[in-house]
Structure 1
Amino acid sequence: MGQKIYPFSRYTFFITLVLHVEAVLPMKSYIRIRKGSNLIEDLSTEFYNVSTSDAVNLPSSLGSGKIRGLYFPSDLSLYLGKYHLIVPWQQETINEKDSTTFCISASIMSNEISIKKDGEWLKTNYNGPNSVLFYSYGSSVEVAYPQNEPLKTITITFTSATVSAIMDQPDVLNGLDPISPFLYLDEAVPEAETLIRKLACIGGESEPSKFEIYLAVLNLLRLTLYRSFVIKERYNSSGLLKEDAEKMFAIRKKLMENSHQTIKIAELAAEVGMGQSKMTRLFKQVFNRTLYQFAQKAKVIKAKDLLNSRNYNVSQAGYMVGYTNMTHFAKAFKKYYKVNPGDYLKRVLGDKISS
């Protein structure tokens, strides 16, 4: 069977060599995840660089920075990248069928990356760790990063043995025994963002202890597995038709892309060809929040993206996502991110790459 692409997520690691021509076109390169492999060793081969047991430098033709590996019990590994690219960076990561390895990956940057899906490049607006990739063995993912962007990446690799040692949730264990390869793409909820940013700080002045790092990795792993398998299983087992589920995700996408607009239930229902009461009921069933709750969430997520870009102040961001009362905007932002937008912007401006 072919690789499935779901709206939920798993993360992965991507790296690329580039060729300097007039248009600065990226040159395709590959990383293969093999059973028992170490990504640092694989990257050193790809980069033609000598590595230590836990780090490899980027080639100077690509930019500056390095990727570091941290290793924990039960096949659990964390790979951290911190670099500045001087050319576009494109990479296909191939997770071989017999690797038995799962990958979770996220990035922190101030611009966009592109993910190749169904043969077409799609822009994903990161502006911080807003998306997470989670994929299985037997699958592959292709990602392109822009040049002149400071960038941090985290990648977690693990096996089913890693999870069975710490979790006994049946839906999770079943999900880690897939019939066919999968790749999930999911938003990073606030709890996940906090963990991603904590891990991205490793190597800085406020580096957490290895025990704290281990706990953060386990918590991010737990959260990703729960969102990918347990929540998904809730609506799969509820008798929800695939066609209806696809309509719910189409509505979700529309709300995210039009966060500045006022939600109109009648128009949404007509657009997807569904009754209003059925649409609102199914949306709550799938996403565990009402349409209005999700619309407010979409507004503050977009506002956070605008603040992360460093191009807008708090009032501008609030107005751009549809708020006319800045007190209401600040209250909604703080409800979701546990910090008011003014303090959040100060934090962003004080950090070169939104970490």
Structure 2
Amino acid sequence: MRFEFTPNAGFNFLNAFAEHIGAVVENDGIVIPDSLGQGIIKRMRLTPDFSLIIHHYILKEALILQRSASEDANEKINALFHIYQAPPDYHEKVAVDKTALADVKTVRITSTNIASEMFFPSEHEIFFINVSTSRTALQKLLNIKSMNAAASQILTDDKGFLFFERMNLNMQNCLKAIISVEFGNEMSGLVVWIRVQELLYLLFDSLLQRDTIKHFPINKVDASRLIAVKDNIVADLGKPPQLTELTKIADMSISKLTDLYRQVFGDSIYNYYQKARMEKAGDLIMRSGYSVSEAGYALGFSNLSHFSRLFSKHYGTTPKKYVNQINNSKFPAQT
């Protein structure tokens, strides 16, 4: 299922999506029809400058939300916090597959003059919120005195921008706390607003740790090409990325691609690939019961000592201890 929309003046996402799936908007929310899955979408006006759309559901069919670029919308910002979580037996349903979906935990913050596409797989629990605001309002809320290049481009520039950030455990817990709020409570709006501010703080706390010096304006063509490069990198985590192949996908020089990729994703292409492999390895061990060696070999590692070193660096514990923590139902924090 695909839903395409352009958020121009007067557009109402909730009403349009409800019509698309044959649902009814009640109390600023939608209940997903049983024929499509189960769950809800909720709209909230937090303040005059901040609004929120909450998605929490499990769908029978994959969903793609395709937002077209808005014209002359450099002042407007969307912060998209996104987790999709596979059911415990998900990887048992497929063969040992380096391309099978791992749990995804990402944040995308972008100006609305850059298009975005969100993919929600079937059978996965979706936790997703979209915080909409303006550069001016966000800068006033955060009140950052000393900005790095990333924060400055988001908060003070007048050009398009796009940044991705991995969600750490605190962000994941905060997102799930927002979604779990009981909305019938008279003070639920206040609780959600406090949590949203916490989530924005955690996001910018991560962004402020980036050390990229050179920053360039991002146009919608470059943005779509960089996302295509990222998708190619994670499509087969047993295959190291090849710069010559990626430059063809991006239609960029090596220097432009590597600079823009680090700017947008906060890491080099190869480091991003390695971290994605570790996340997939943890997912295979935690959810599928793979042994450490099975997970390593499935992801293309021939040297298990090298795999163990990378795993320990990513998770802060050895693979063996990670397995023991899982067996004892004590899950380690993920970076």
Out of 195, 199, 208, which is 1:213 matched to? 195
Q: Distance in 1 between matches of 2:163 and 2:67?
A: 15
Match of 1:337 in 2: 315
Contact 2:102 2:279 in 1 (8 A): no
SS of equivalent residue, structure 2 residue 112: coil
Contact 1:56 1:68 in 2 (8 A): yes
Out of 138, 145, 149, which is 1:163 matched to? 138
Give the drift of 1:236.
3.7
SS of equivalent residue, structure 2 residue 199: helix
Pair 1:189-2:202 in alignment: no
Q: How does 1:303-342 map to 2 (within 5 A)?
A: 303-307=281-285, 310=288, 312-321=290-299, 329=307, 332-338=310-316, 340-342=321-323
In structure 2, relative to structure 1, the CA distance for the partners of 1:43 and 1:291 (3 Å cut) is closer
Match of 1:97 in 2: 71
Match of 1:114 in 2: none
The residue type equivalent to 1:157 in the other structure is S
In structure 2, relative to structure 1, the CA distance for the partners of 1:181 and 1:189 (3 Å cut) is closer
Instruction: State how many pairs are aligned.
Output: 286
Q: Which runs of 5+ in 1 are unaligned?
A: 1-25, 112-123, 238-245, 273-278
Match of 1:147 in 2: 122
Q: Distance in 2 between matches of 1:49 and 1:335?
A: 48
SS of equivalent residue, structure 2 residue 281: helix
Q: Distance in 2 between matches of 1:33 and 1:291?
A: 32
Match of 1:22 in 2: none
SS of equivalent residue, structure 2 residue 71: coil
Match of 2:111 in 1: 136
Out of 175, 182, 186, which is 1:199 matched to? 175
Write out per-residue CA displacement over residues 309-329 of structure 1, whole angstroms, 9 at most, x where no aligned residue: 526344421343456787875
In structure 2, relative to structure 1, the CA distance for the partners of 1:131 and 1:185 (3 Å cut) is farther
Out of 45, 53, 58, which is 1:79 matched to? 53
Q: Distance in 1 between matches of 2:325 and 2:182?
A: 19
SS of equivalent residue, structure 1 residue 222: helix
In structure 2, relative to structure 1, the CA distance for the partners of 1:327 and 1:133 (3 Å cut) is same
Query: What percent identity do the matched residue pairs reach?
Result: 19
The residue type equivalent to 2:136 in the other structure is A
Give the drift of 1:301.
2.9
Give the drift of 1:83.
1.1
Pairwise CA RMSD: 5.1
Match of 2:220 in 1: none
Write out per-residue CA displacement over residues 129-177 of structure 1, whole angstroms, 9 at most, x where no aligned residue: 3444333223333444343333222222221122220234374344456
The TM-score, its normalising length taken from structure 1, stands at 0.58
Write out per-residue CA displacement over residues 249-270 of structure 1, whole angstroms, 9 at most, x where no aligned residue: 98x999867765799xxx989x
